[in-house]
Structure 1
């Protein structure tokens, strides 16, 4: 396994890391001391693992840059000439740099560690990562479906007619399920399904990044539940995110002696071909009547669901506050829903590198983000989102495109 270590001081973190790598039987590593040298090395060869100090200089002899490691990762993402490392572990000894950089690395599914003093933990992380990379020849899948909750979200995916069975992955903590279906051309397609370790953007981004790197799906879908915007959506309505964004991204400041939030979200749009397909589904009201009539578990809402294409916001908290919902709507007045994972999935898929999978977030309305919310409609919403994903996969998605 080929490992690249990027650190400008051997006597610090690098010495500890190299000692652990040797203990784990990894002798094939290359040490560079600057962003420029790291990029040159990755242009010349492919590395399985990159261990990255956050504070590195642009070129050897310059002062270390506080954002040098992050800038290196950003250049890796946009430069087509770079052989992107399969996995990245970043390390910093500075608490402030750790706090500033954590979201950046979590959104991409990469690990960020605070220092190397806890050598037992560092050894455990490297051992697990090396084990994953050693089994990188895992089979590839045409589609990956990710949910936030095992019940009811993943449960409704596993109820689809794909003959799912549990799939064992060495060194992995997640439980995977694999199945197959027939696509619009009559070809058999493979599918992988799993639930994230827990709710939220960070967990969703991490599992999505792992799946994209390891299983190389052509399409990543997140299904599940969301809060809808009252008046624009009804219980069970199926929200297709276009675009999605992190509504908590921005700056808290003080203006006129009041705390003010200045939003600065990055919005990720839906792939244009997927958008066109869902516009057709919506215009012709396809599938919704059959989905509505096939729900037999409990009571149904008074009306069949609608498929709605529009902006969906992602946040890190369970929302029961109409005032905060109004703030989110101020970021995009056409917002149709709020949930906790979609932006993590969409961003991790986007930043996974070539061949970049297409990504789609489908969340159905189970409440309206107010104090009256409860779990009564979660199973129904999980069902409607899973069913429309099934129709899209089997009747619309072109795997040859």
Structure 2
């Protein structure tokens, strides 16, 4: 558990800390609480780090030891509402009567519980309820999205541990553990961009994961990818956007991209022989001998494509496009637009070339190698960033 305690008055701060120590008991360590004793430090912590609980004070100096206390509630609430902590538990402890607080509506609208701090134990009881509520939340370090049941089933062939399936807020979730990290594999009700957009947006906002990913299968582009290559979408867009005019479709694709830092890590992983050996271990399709992990452009659309000419038409949108699939752009946009700002990436294996010879010959091994790659990259990123 991580708690941000914003308070400049030493006696009050120590009393709040003592209450937290008592509530947490043996679960308390010195790393639980981060202290901020001025507004500058508080706002920096709110924007920089993610906390399970934020405890606000309303009156603070801008910089400790310089100037007088002033009402900083507007700045603190603005920072909280716009940061990755916007859905964290929060409480403001004030020594003023609540009837005297002019901007009480600001706290209410931001979901911050306002409680009077005095010699009674009421504030401590409210604090205990907040901490207990945190303990009831589902621990979710990551989420993996799969559009098909067989894509999710492929995780049986990884080093992860699969748990039971649950209906959580209408979402088809399955527990999964990768090393020391816990998460879900979530399958939308149907394939396609719309269902993935709704499900991924809902899941990211509810679970607040640190990283989200997608695995599965896709169509490759001749000359840019081969059967059972893994395509990691460096750039992703929806090929269906644009305008029909005078019988001609004028394309207007909008692109989403990997973060530069994650892109660098994934490119380096694609060049690792150890990574390639891991994902194809125990699989014997001849195409796996020369398989590559390609961090390349990939396009999304809600239709299954089995037409070589249409694949060429989509390819005009990016000369280095390596694959086409049906959901990834929605995941990239959902993650990019979320205030929680999780890392995100998608990796799908090539099982056909989008022409009339489309079949399911490579589906089983394709789902396995993409699942193995995703679990490996999630583990590496969580170990690096936590």
Please, what TM-score do these two structures have when normalized by structure 1?
A: 0.61
Distance 1:272 1:378 in 2: 31
Corresponding position: 1:348 with 2:334:
yes
- The Cα offsets for residues 283-324 of structure 1, whole Å up to 9 and x where unpaired, read as 33342133324226xx44262421001100001100111222
The equivalent of 1:165 in structure 2 is 163
* 1:331-346 correspondence to structure 2 within 5 Å: 331-346=317-332
The equivalent of 2:231 in structure 1 is 239
Corresponding position: 1:198 with 2:190:
yes
Is the 8 Å Cα contact of residues 224 and 321 (structure 2) preserved in structure 1?
no
Is the 8 Å Cα contact of residues 349 and 358 (structure 1) preserved in structure 2?
yes
Give, in angstroms, the shift of residue 223 of structure 1: 0.3
Task: Give the direction of change, closer, same or farther, for the CA distance of 1:248–1:218 in structure 2 (3 Å limit).
Answer: same
Distance 2:140 2:301 in 1: 29
Match of 1:253 among 241, 245, 259: 245
Q: For 1:226, what is the secondary structure of its paired residue?
A: strand
- For structure 1, the 5+ residue unaligned runs are 1-78, 87-133, 183-187
Give, in angstroms, the shift of residue 246 of structure 1: 0.2
Distance 2:381 2:290 in 1: 22
Is the 8 Å Cα contact of residues 217 and 349 (structure 2) preserved in structure 1?
yes
For these two proteins, the number of residue pairs brought into alignment is 263
Distance 1:301 1:363 in 2: 16
The equivalent of 1:274 in structure 2 is 262
Corresponding position: 1:225 with 2:202:
no
The equivalent of 1:211 in structure 2 is 203
Based on CA coordinates, which of the two structures has the bigger radius of gyration? Answer: 2
Is the 8 Å Cα contact of residues 311 and 334 (structure 1) preserved in structure 2?
yes
Task: Give the direction of change, closer, same or farther, for the CA distance of 1:168–1:81 in structure 2 (3 Å limit).
Answer: closer
Please, what TM-score do these two structures have when normalized by structure 2?
A: 0.63
Q: For 2:306, what is the secondary structure of its paired residue?
A: coil
The equivalent of 1:101 in structure 2 is none
Corresponding position: 1:289 with 2:281:
no
Task: Give the direction of change, closer, same or farther, for the CA distance of 1:365–1:137 in structure 2 (3 Å limit).
Answer: same
Give, in angstroms, the shift of residue 160 of structure 1: 2.5
The equivalent of 1:301 in structure 2 is 287
Corresponding position: 1:176 with 2:173:
yes
Distance 1:307 1:215 in 2: 30
Give, in angstroms, the shift of residue 393 of structure 1: 2.1
Distance 1:305 1:245 in 2: 24
Task: Give the direction of change, closer, same or farther, for the CA distance of 1:83–1:388 in structure 2 (3 Å limit).
Answer: closer
- For structure 2, the 5+ residue unaligned runs are 1-80, 89-132
